[in-house]
Chain A
Amino acid sequence: MCRLVAITSDKYFSPMENVLALETMKEGHDGSGMGLVLKNLGGEFENLKEFPVLSAICSKDGMNALDSYMDRQGFKPIHTWTPKIKPVKGVQARDYYFARVYDYPPAIKDSPKEEKEGLLLKTRVALRAMGEADESIIVFSFYPDVLSLKEVGDPLELSEFFSLHDAPLKAKIIFAQGRQNTNYAINLYACHPFFIQGYFSMTNGENTAFVPIREYLTSRGNPGYIGYNSDSEVFTHILHYICRDLAYPLTYYKDVITPLKDSEINNRTDRDAVRLLKMSLRPLCIDGPNCVIGAAPDGATFMVQDSKKLRPGVVGGVKGQYGLMSEECGLDSAIPERDKSKDIFPMKYDMVIISPDAGEVKVWNQLHG
């Protein structure tokens, strides 16, 4: 089962904290890869928050193709971060790893946010399509203030490979997943956390409803609903569909993926709406043992799970820094100074939501709405 480490804080911190927490949970992942997504970036990105960051891996040819495509679209690069690659045994280095900050094309500079986000999505999807066949371009995210880094290998070795310990890379929200590659051939696009337009999430468990959910999402007509190299990529897209396309408040994500029984719905004050949602979004019910840790564009992070998840994740921390993890030992490593008795193990009706800047932890109970 994959190991998941999400940390949200009011101060900038290094992804090494996530990597070390993953290391304590080592038994759970097989070292077949690590995914990192950083949000609310610090360091050299701190003053570039309104500009989109393209996180990608390219071969030499891919790099040329990417540059000329971005140039044609009118995106001007204003800053590039590349990890200092240290050769590590067992990790096959690719030509270019980078996160590049772009200025918007002049034509769209003053357009509303939605339009800009649409263009970013379209560009990311186009780049992905360009390099998909020969893996010359692998692109994870293209969005302001978000950076992704993924590679095949053991998390600790990868942190050495990317020199994360002495990199000035810092952020206020960092998600990391140590992969347990059980279902599919190793593919970087199958590596969590998955990202779309400011929403990202990572999961462990088994998604038995993958095919119907994928079919439902892909038939929504959103150009970003593609990929699905992993059976849990759909969870991120459901989040995006619910909160962005349908504009429902975040808590309804829980109502959609793990709907209440009819008898339970009657206790809710918004029962009429919940009942309609359950019917109408029936294909998005996850119906399997899954724990989902996710983040919304405003910086809120959350954890939910299906009732069949026998070992729940854990949320705990101190004011200003909270961890959402798949195992308690990871939390001990990341935030040892917390009051352990206040740790939250969300059960089947719970959705733990941490407000932006790790200010407040709320356990929202689905039964009571």
Chain B
Amino acid sequence: MEPASRLDQNHELTFREFPYIILWREDRCMRCGKCTAVCPVKAIEPAVSLQRLVKSEDSVPAPSLVRSITHVVKQVTDIERYCTGCGTCTLVCPTAAIMPEYNPFNKFLFYKNRGGEPYRRGGRRNDPSASTLDKLKFTRISMLTDPALDAGRHEFYIRTLLGRIPPADKLPVKAADGRLIVDKGEFIPPVREIYPIMIGSMSVGALSPPMWEGLAMGVAYLNEAEGLPVVMCSGEGGMPPRLLKSRFLKYFILQIASGYFGWDEIIHALPHMKEDPCAIEIKYGQGAKPGDGGLLMSYKVLKLIAEIRGVPKYVDLASPPTHQTKYSIEESVAKMIQSMSMAWGFRVPVYPKISGTKTAQAVLNNLARNPYAAGLYIDGEDGGTGAAYNVSMDKMGHPIASNLRDCYLDLVKQGKQNELPLIAAGGVGKTGNLAANTAALIMLGASAAAMGKYIMQAAAECFGDEYNRCSLCNTGRCPRGITTQDPKLYRRLDPDKVAERVVEVFKSADIELRKIFAPMGRSTQLPIGMSDGLSVGDKEIAERLKIDYAC
């Protein structure tokens, strides 16, 4: 007998299983077809539908049945073409006839593993609850005992140091005739003074050309026109060769990751470099998928990307989880830092980037003893990368707040808190509080904070959010043109506009940082480790972070 499922469509999903349901208003729709044309996932399509209408055209009711064929916009029930709620359809609709609506009862994760492929969602953790960073408040306010500072009028100096700082008792200085002189023969590690909010590592390749270019232009403008020494990291995969040989290189941190993509170009460009890069970042891990490698999908590896990275076009570029040529963390950290330092004549700070994990302190202790290590970058669980599997994002990793705090207090215990800067990332500005999250991390002990998702969302008006909206970053079909190599899509993004937004974001964050630091009485030095400035309305968090509880 014929199974019923073939007859009554019982194998299909209902809209209720889907994260977003399209609300389409037939009465407003003029059937222009724009929405179906722009939908990046083809979740809606034009269709025809047979309608049965009851009509009455007489002066007295005389209903008659009319059957007509009309054009409709139909949401498909194919789980591979689920509506991501990006809202591109709404944006292009001339009559405001279409809008996706979030369905909190969805059972999406039960079904989205077709082809045996687990779900990936573009590096977004999709946890809308407030992070620990967002729960922290600044509660040490100077008002009565002494004049408070004026964030608007007072002179502020918000800068941080990137690089290993020799301890005072090891400085090559000696007193002679009431003044100190420096013994020039001694090696003094390179240190950069930078803005305490960095743009974290996002590669050319992961980002579209206009997005990466926009960020880079914004950073150059901030440095040269606004006097804010903001730096950004290249991500794995190198940089356009022209930029490597330009005077702007000093605003960039070059990343070397386990796939070594792009390093061929960098090494070849070395003799032609006019400037040293700001620093070298050696990537061991990232917040979104600790213990997992990187991946640039084949469909993003176009000509330019293939050339920069020195690989064939259209192949998956998988970086292994570890640097495969190194035997242990000690060897890995020591050798790589040494060789990278050597490549630039020990003039460039070199530091590793790891995922937030319980072993971060072990790595830190290792670095603390390495005189060439320039810092440690820790990426907490809220950090992102498009290629991360859902399960990694949900279930792996360590929140940054306590991980950073442990590491900082470890340095304090060793008396090395000023020697080795900690860079914290993972969820900075997740809910829009860029400056507040940065300030909180600094007061917990970070020398700088890095952010990636926030700047993408702010600078390119990204659609995605933590309710699983859009999250197409990994598919190469970003409707905003941020994380795609498809010219049809990335043409939507104007690099000049991106650069302008980058500048605006940093200028306003700078004002916000002053608004936080001024009432706490700090203006010339970053309040690194000023934990008495922080409070939280959660006893357990307070205890864990060793800060005040205030409710």
Contact = CB atoms under 8 A, between A and B. Distances in A.
Interface in B128-145: 140, 142, 144-145
B223 interface: no
Contacts of A270: 179-181
Contact of B180 (A209, A248, A307, A310): A248
A73 interface: no
Interface string B54-96: 0000000000000000000000000000000000000000000
A288 interface: yes
A226 interface: no
Contact of A220 (B165, B415, B528): B415
A273 B188 CA distance: 12
Contacts of B171: 276-277, 280
Interface of B: 140, 142, 144-147, 149, 157, 161, 165-169, 171, 173, 175, 178-182, 184, 188, 191, 193, 412-418, 520-525, 527-532
B182 A206 contact: no
A276 to B, nearest CB: 5
B206 to A, nearest CB: 35
A220 B418 CA distance: 12
A283 B522 CA distance: 12
- Tell which of B165, B193, B414, B529 has the most Cβ of chain A within 10 Å: B529
B530 A212 contact: yes
A183 interface: yes
A220 B416 CA distance: 9
B527 A279 contact: no
Interface string A267-286: 00110111011011111010
A92 to B, nearest CB: 27
Contacts of A212: 417, 527-530
7 contacts: A212-B527, A249-B178, A249-B179, A251-B178, A270-B179, A270-B181, A277-B180
Contacts of A283: 417-418, 528-529
A88 interface: no
A59 B193 CA distance: 54
Contacts of B188: 276
B415 A282 contact: no
A252 B520 CA distance: 26
Given A270-B180, A270-B181, A206 B161 contact: no
Interface in A240-280: 245-249, 251-252, 259, 261-262, 269-270, 272-274, 276-277, 279-280
B273 to A, nearest CB: 25
Given A280-B168, A288-B146, A273 B418 contact: no
Contacts of A251: 178
Nearest to B181: A273
A359 interface: no
Given A209-B527, A215-B529, A273-B180, A245 B146 contact: no
Contacts of A246: 168-169
Classify chain A's interface size. Answer: 35 or more
B526 to A, nearest CB: 9
Contacts of A211: 529-532
A1 interface: yes
A200 interface: no
A280 B418 contact: yes
B180 A249 contact: yes
Contacts of B414: 219
A369 interface: yes
Nearest to A281: B168
A97 interface: no
A276 B182 contact: yes
B146 A289 contact: yes
A262 B418 CA distance: 19
Contacts of A280: 165-168, 171, 418
Interface string A135-148: 00000000000000
A231 B69 CA distance: 81
A247 B524 contact: no
Given A206-B146, A219-B415, A287 B525 contact: yes
A287 B418 contact: no
A205 interface: yes
Given A210-B532, A249-B179, A279-B191, A183 B418 contact: no
Contacts of A269: 179
A68 to B, nearest CB: 35
Contacts of B180: 248-249, 252, 270, 273-274, 277
What 5 A-B pairs come out closest when comparing CB atoms?
A: A208-B521, A219-B415, A273-B180, A206-B146, A272-B182
Contacts of B149: 308
Nearest to B170: A280
B520 A208 contact: yes
B165 A249 contact: no
B524 A285 contact: yes
A63 B92 CA distance: 87
Nearest to A249: B178
B165 A279 contact: yes
A205 B418 CA distance: 25
A216 interface: yes
A54 to B, nearest CB: 30
Contact of B161 (A245, A261, A279): A279
A288 B521 contact: yes
A247 B525 contact: no
A106 interface: no
A226 to B, nearest CB: 15
Interface in A134-173: none
Nearest to A242: B168
A140 B531 CA distance: 29
A80 interface: no
A182 interface: yes
Contacts of B165: 279-280, 282
Contact of A282 (B144, B161, B181, B413): B161
A27 to B, nearest CB: 16
A221 interface: yes
Report which residue of B167, B179, B182, B532 has the largest number of chain A beta carbons within 10 angstroms of its beta carbon.
B179
A275 to B, nearest CB: 9
Contacts of B142: 206, 208, 288
Given A208-B521, A249-B180, 13 more contacts: A206-B142, A208-B520, A211-B529, A212-B530, A221-B415, A246-B169, A277-B168, A280-B167, A283-B417, A287-B521, A287-B523, A288-B142, A288-B521
B175 A209 contact: no
Given A209-B522, A211-B531, A261 B157 contact: yes
Contacts of B524: 259, 285, 287, 307
A243 to B, nearest CB: 10
Contact of A206 (B166, B167, B417, B521): B521
B446 to A, nearest CB: 13
Nearest to B419: A280
Contacts of B184: 272
A249 B175 contact: yes
A262 B414 CA distance: 29
A216 B184 CA distance: 27
Nearest to B160: A282
A273 B412 CA distance: 25
B178 A205 contact: no
Contact of A308 (B157, B173, B417, B523): B523
Interface string A218-245: 0111000000000000000000000001
Contacts of B182: 272-273, 276
Contacts of A215: 412, 417, 529
A265 B223 CA distance: 21
Q: Which of B146, B181, B417 has the most CB of A within 10 A?
A: B146
A298 to B, nearest CB: 13
A208 B516 CA distance: 13
B522 A208 contact: yes
Contacts of B179: 249, 269-270, 273, 369
B412 A219 contact: yes
Nearest to B412: A215
A212 B140 CA distance: 14
